[in-house]
């Protein structure tokens, strides 16, 4: 599902966190919001999610104006930097959680969870508890859990930010593979240019609350 943000403004006191931002995010793309700390990336992501209200502007998801809709009504999966897993549930049950509260059938839940465990490479760890996983494995579990309920949109706010460089690189490959299999419209917030270049179809470069450039990695950077 495509996302459009039109003329978004958000101020904190005198400070413009978003200064008339407009962006179109194509259906099925993996788009990165790239910029330094404080450039407005999280604010834009939270506005798409409905976690923050804009001072003015419009958010459209698959043709519907959701500017006033609650996060629950927007059908979005989230993964944040510090992912809160259920400590008392094993990997399998963490991934299944959203399906269970939606009262899906056992057969459907099992099929979906098996598929996602495979895609994120956690089949052999499915009985482990979050504390028994590495940071990278935990974030892969987080991706699988967010995707389990087939959201229209997946929003990732520095999902690999707390991890070391080697693990981040590994996770980029997982994210890219996951996206190639699932094709859900994905928006990734990152301050890491290499990460944006490696995983994205499109990159929007933010600075001081404005979008400075949008394009494919090849459009924006000589490689």
| Residues that bind ligand ADP in the complex, under the rule CB under 6 A | 12, 17, 35, 37-43, 157
Give the nearer residue to ligand ADP in terms of CB position, either 27 or 212.
212
Map the chain to HEC letters.
CCEEEEEEEEEECCEEEEEEEEEEECCCCEEEEECCCCCCHHHHHHHHHCCCCCCEEEEEECCEECCCCCHHHHCEEEEECCCCCCCCCCHHHHHHHHHHHCCCCHHHHHHHHHHHHHHCCCHHHCCCCHHHCCHHHHHHHHHHHHHCCCCCEEEEECCCCCCCHHHHHHHHHHHHHHHHHHCCEEEEEECCHHHHHHHCCEEEEEECCEEEEEECHHHHCCC
- Write down the least CB distance from residue 157 to ligand ADP, Å: 6
Give the nearer residue to ligand ADP in terms of CB position, either 56 or 132.
56
- Write down the least CB distance from residue 38 to ligand ADP, Å: 4
- Write down the least CB distance from residue 89 to ligand ADP, Å: 26
Give the nearer residue to ligand ADP in terms of CB position, either 136 or 159.
159
- Write down the least CB distance from residue 16 to ligand ADP, Å: 9
Give the nearer residue to ligand ADP in terms of CB position, either 21 or 178.
21
């Amino acid at each position: 599902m495509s996302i459009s943000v039109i003329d978004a403004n958000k101020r904190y006191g005198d400070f413009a966190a978003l200064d008339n931002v407009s962006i179109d995010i194509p259906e099925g793309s993996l788009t990165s919001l790239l910029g330094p700390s404080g450039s407005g990336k999280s604010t834009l992501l939270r506005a798409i999610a409905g976690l923050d209200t804009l001072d003015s502007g419009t958010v459209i998801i698959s043709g519907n104006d959701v500017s006033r809709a609650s996060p629950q009504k927007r059908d979005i999966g989230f993964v944040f930097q510090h992912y809160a897993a259920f400590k008392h549930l094993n990997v399998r049950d963490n991934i299944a959680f959203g399906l269970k509260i939606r009262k899906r059938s056992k057969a459907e839940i099992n099929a979906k969870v098996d598929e996602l465990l495979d895609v994120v490479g956690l089949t052999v760890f499915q009985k482990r508890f979050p504390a028994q996983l590495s940071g990278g494995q935990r974030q892969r579990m987080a991706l699988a859990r967010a995707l389990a309920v087939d959201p229209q949109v997946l929003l990732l706010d520095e999902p690999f930010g707390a991890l070391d460089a080697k693990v981040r690189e590994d996770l980029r490959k997982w994210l890219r593979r996951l996206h190639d299999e699932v094709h859900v419209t994905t928006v990734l917030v990152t301050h890491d240019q290499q990460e944006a270049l490696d995983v994205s179809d499109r990159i929007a470069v933010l600075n001081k609350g404005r979008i400075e450039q949008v394009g494919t990695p090849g459009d924006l950077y000589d490689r």
